[in-house]
Amino acid sequence: MSSSPSPADPVPVDSDADGLQAIAALLLGAPDEVGVAALRQSGLPFSCPIDADALARAHTKLLGGLRPGFGPLPPFESVWLGERRVMGVATQSVAAAYEAAGAQLMPVDGLPADHVGYEVAFLAFLLRCRDDAVDHGDQAGVERADAAWRSFLTDHVSTWVPRWCQAVHDEDPDGFYGALALMLYDYVVSAIDELSGEQAVADMRSC
pLDDT tier for residue 91 given thresholds of 50, 70 and 90: very high
CB 135 within 8 A of CB 46: no
Give percent of the chain above pLDDT 70. 83
Which is higher by pLDDT, 159 or 174?
159
For the segment 1-27, what is each residue's pLDDT rounded down to a tens digit?
A: 543 333 323 333 344 788 898 899 899
Per-position DSSP letters for 65-98, written without gaps between them? --BTTBSSSPSBHHHHTT-SSSSSHHHHHHHHHH
32-88, pLDDT tens digit by residue?
888 888 777 766 656 676 788 989 999 999 998 767 678 899 999 999 999 977 788
According to the model, what pLDDT value does residue 2 have?
41
Instruction: Report pTM.
Output: 0.85
Percent of the chain topping pLDDT 90: 56
Q: What is the dihedral of CA 138, 142, 148, 152, to 10 degrees?
A: 150
Query: Which domains does the chain carry?
Result: 17-206 (1.10.3480)
User: 3-class SS at 115?
Assistant: strand
Please give the pLDDT value at position 168.
96
